[in-house]
Amino acid sequence: MQGNIGLPMLPDMFEKIHMPINMKILHVISSVDPKGGGPIEGVNQLSAVHRVLGVEVAICSLDEPDAECVRNSKAKVYALGPSLNGYGYNSRLVPWLKAHAHEYDAVIVNGLWQYHSFAVWRALAGTDTPYFVFTHGMLDPWFKRAYPLKHLKKWLYWPWAEYRVLRDADAVIFTCEEERLLARQSFWLYHVNEAVTAFGTSSPPDNSEELSKQFFSVYPQLQGKRLILFLSRIHEKKGCDLLLEAFAQVAKTHERLHLVMAGPDQTGWTNTLKAQAVRLCISDCITWAGMLQGDMKWGAFYASEVFCLPSHQENFGIVVAEALACGKPVLISNKVNIWREIEEDGAGFIDDDTVEGTVRNLKQWLALDSKKKAAMNERAKNCFKSRFHIQRAAERLLEIISDYEK
């Protein structure tokens, strides 16, 4: 989700990455709308650091040129919409790429299964302009188990589209080792040059008390509550229904416990979840905050005592990194691909993406005394600083590009 993008100081970075200051990068993505979740937030975060390094960054998207998300973007956006159908076919994209891609040192494709990735292959395969692909978890085998009919449909155009996109990319970039290994399980026709880089986010604003007060000024009824925060898209794969079931079980014995459900809903699932909350008799213990951005988002993190994401599939989870950055332990499923790193650092609790697993995570957190909670808060901050600060990801991406320059 989109928030304030910091511009961190990066001393001695140029000596580490051995790259020209005047490098130019073009990101190609279906949309710069923050409601789309992690991919565009990742682009924004990386671009902020790269601009500090002197790298010129632009984005090519399939949005309408006058769309609000285009006007609000901090980066230069070439919006070529409107596009046709859910696949996002756009007849202007390939000609535009052929005319302009050579002006950049690297083109980075963000996401699969829409026309923008195939268009990059059509325009650049076999040329001197290198292109790279961030899959953003879209090759995770969970999708073929959860949506077998959609997976069959993908198979119909995998051999002539996405397979070629990945095969001919200078590198296919995964944001953690778990994602790289899982990607090999989705399609048997699979041949890519693999690269791995950490992902992450920038440091959050440090005026935590002020931001918490701002959040409580909008939601004064939450003052004095013990807040559990869910902040992500309201989507089936995020395990929202599991969280409601689990919360209903633990809330019975913790009177001040309150769940904040924050995030955009692009599928209309919220009404179903609210009906579920009524059946579970927990409606009075849930606040549906919608999409939170900027100071309100950070205020929600700081006002909460723990972050919970029992997702069925999560490539990286920038919101998980954001929670850690705010010193908030995370209660996540073992389908969030960075769970091993978090478990190793003692920055949260990990369990299955089931009601039972989510209950166990909540109970483990609630059973801690104040001293142990404070210690886990500190470990969460350290986990972010050592593993998930965007500076590390930005440096590594430039290294990858430099290694594959033609």
| 15 pLDDT more than 80 | no
Answer yes or no: are the C-beta atoms of 126 and 45 closer than 8 Å: no
pLDDT tens digit string along 325-377?
999 999 999 999 899 999 999 999 999 999 999 999 999 999 999 999 999 99
pLDDT tens digit string along 68-120?
999 999 889 999 988 888 888 999 999 999 999 999 999 999 999 999 999 99
Domain spans of the chain? 13-202+389-403, 208-388
| 211 pLDDT more than 90 | yes
| 380 pLDDT more than 70 | yes
| 263 pLDDT more than 50 | yes
Of 27, 44, 28, 53, the closest CA to residue 294 belongs to 44
How much is the pLDDT for 8?
40
pTM recorded for the entire structure: 0.79
Mean pLDDT taken over the chain: 90
Q: How many CB atoms lie within 10 A of CB 18?
A: 9
Answer yes or no: are the C-beta atoms of 109 and 103 closer than 8 Å: no
How much is the pLDDT for 109?
97
55 — pLDDT class (breaks 50, 70, 90): very high
Do 208-388 and 13-202+389-403 have the same topology in CATH?
Answer: yes
| 1 pLDDT more than 60 | no
405 — pLDDT class (breaks 50, 70, 90): low
If DSSP states are collapsed to H, E and C, what string results for 312-370? CCECCCHHHHHHHHCCCCEEEECCECCHHHHHHHCCEEEECCCHHHHHHHHHHHHCCCH
How many whole angstroms separate alpha carbon 380 and alpha carbon 203?
13
If DSSP states are collapsed to H, E and C, what string results for 121-158? HHHHCCCCCCEEEECCCCCCCHHHHHCHHHHHHHHHHH
How much is the pLDDT for 150?
85
How much is the pLDDT for 19?
45
Task: For domain 13-202+389-403, give its CATH number from 3.40.50.1100, 3.40.50.2000, 1.10.1660.10, 3.40.50.2300.
Answer: 3.40.50.2000
How much is the pLDDT for 21?
53
| 6 pLDDT more than 70 | no
pLDDT tens digit string along 142-190?
788 877 888 888 888 788 899 999 999 999 999 888 888 888 988 888 8
How much is the pLDDT for 260?
98
Q: Which of the pair, 8 or 86, is modelled with greater confidence? A: 86
Q: Which of the pair, 179 or 14, is modelled with greater confidence? A: 179
Task: For domain 208-388, give its CATH number from 3.40.1280.10, 3.40.50.2000, 3.60.15.10, 3.40.630.10.
Answer: 3.40.50.2000
How much is the pLDDT for 12?
41
287 — pLDDT class (breaks 50, 70, 90): very high
Question: Which residue in the block uniquely carries the two structure tokens 């909540």?
Answer: 362
pLDDT tens digit string along 290-335?
999 999 999 999 999 999 999 998 878 889 999 999 999 999 999 9
